[in-house]
Amino acid sequence: MNIAMFSDSYYPYVSGVVRSIELFRHELSRLGHNVYIFAPSYSRQKKEEGVFRFPSITAPTIKNFSLALPFAPGVGKMIRDLKIDLIHCHSPFLLGSVGARAARRQKLPLVFTHHTLYDLYVHYVPLFPGLARRLVLGFVRKFCNNCNLVITPTNMVAERLRELGITVPLEAIPTGLKLEEFADPDPDWLRREYGIGPEEKVLLCVARFGKEKNLDMVLEAFLRINRACPATRLFLVGIGPYEEELRAMTANMGLDSRVTIVGRPLPRRTLTDYYAGADLFIYAATTETQGIIVSEAQAVGLPVVAVGANGIAEMVNEGFDGFLTPPSAAALAEKSLLLLQNDELRHRLGSQAKESAKQISAEATAIKMARAYQTLVN
């Protein structure tokens, strides 16, 4: 099959959506399909075969994110020339709308992946957030119901969409893991790199530095953890607009010597070594549709303590590979301390976390996606 994917975010911007697109594109290509990406342009982008860029402007609220101009008079010809069989949109907005129009005009099947709980991101709209939330929900409902199939990363999100009024077929297909990336990490690299003593316990949180990730709650939880167990360190790894606020909060809490903020893009191997060098993964976001970051931590053998909301609640098996908590710093701290102070329990849950991660290999999820495509094309 020849598949066209339209997305409002793609490299060099880094996010869970971009990672999902990259993984599915790679695995679908291995299965013999051709995947073409239609994405915004960036000044520092690398040219890549099969990736078509749209003129863009810099987003006013996220300085490293581009907003594509959704005007593409030649896109229909491109779709015909590429002999596209199916269009898959990864956003309902700018380029998603371009892809949807192209699908209608070319009479092609239209698939949409509902990656994001868009109504939980209205804090990026400076005025009238209540009105913005209603408008976003109405727009997303209409977009979904004009598709042939809507993909969700978890069953929980599918249920939420049904409650929203989505009536078209829904199928839960998570973003998979390239398990080979996590097969041989260096568990000692982090301690060597940062001079961490053998008696110290390391907590890790990998997330985009955005307000919706609740990183302030992670810091508040760690403050409690560090008071009860001083031989602890926290690493916050990510990039995003909230970095300055995080550094200011860390300083105000007096945690500068115990919290390391790594605010730069990392090669996959280096990120895997961060995972492997930690003792515990802590996460507080409540807006995730899946939380691929949590699965990555599990793949390296990290037990997870996370707020049990939306997609995360489906990725962590309570008491088997981690713990789910209410959305409070006290609850996160309590479950984290339980694991940090019990080596046997922590190692057992970490070992079981690896087994959980094996259930969503990238190859298996791509095969499931390809079958869904083929059904529509047929």
pLDDT tens profile 151-207 = 999 998 999 999 999 999 999 999 999 999 998 999 999 999 999 999 999 999 999
CA neighbours within 13 Å on the CB side: how many for 64?
Answer: 18
Residue 190: what pLDDT? 98
Contacts of 193 (CB under 8 A, 6+ apart): none
Residue 15: what pLDDT? 87
- Residue pair 305/332 in contact by the 8 Å Cβ criterion: yes
CATH number of 2-176+361-377: 3.40.50.2000
Place of tokens 């997330």: 207
- Residue pair 352/320 in contact by the 8 Å Cβ criterion: yes
Q: Per the structure block, which two tokens stand in for 354?
A: 């690896």
Domain boundaries, the chain: 2-176+361-377, 179-359
Residue 128: what pLDDT? 53
Helices (H) then strands (E): counts for the chain = 14, 15
Instruction: Give the integer Cα–Cα distance in Å for 370 and 158.
Output: 19
Residue 123: what pLDDT? 46
102, containing H or E segment:
helix 94-106
Contacts of 303 (CB under 8 A, 6+ apart): 280, 281, 321, 322, 323, 339, 346, 349, 350, 353
Q: Within the chain, which residues score under 50 in pLDDT?
A: 122-124
Architecture of domain 179-359: 3-Layer(aba) Sandwich (3.40)
Mapping DSSP to helix (H, G, I), strand (E, B) and coil, where does residue 307 land?
A: strand
User: Which amino acid is residue 211, in one-letter code?
Assistant: K
- List the one residue out of 42, 108, 29 whose CA is nearest residue 75: 108
Residue 116: what pLDDT? 84
Instruction: Give the integer Cα–Cα distance in Å for 53 and 44.
Output: 12
- List the one residue out of 45, 44, 52, 66 whose CA is nearest residue 5: 52
Q: Per the structure block, which two tokens stand in for 282?
A: 């802590």
Query: Are 2-176+361-377 and 179-359 the same fold in CATH?
Result: yes
What are the residues facing 80 on neighbouring strands? none
Mapping DSSP to helix (H, G, I), strand (E, B) and coil, where does residue 201 land?
A: strand
* C-alpha to C-alpha distances, 173 to 94, 157, 161, 165, 368, nearest whole angstrom: 24, 11, 15, 20, 7
* C-alpha to C-alpha distances, 247 to 144, 222, 306, nearest whole angstrom: 39, 14, 22
Instruction: Give the integer Cα–Cα distance in Å for 106 and 72.
Output: 14
pTM here is 0.84
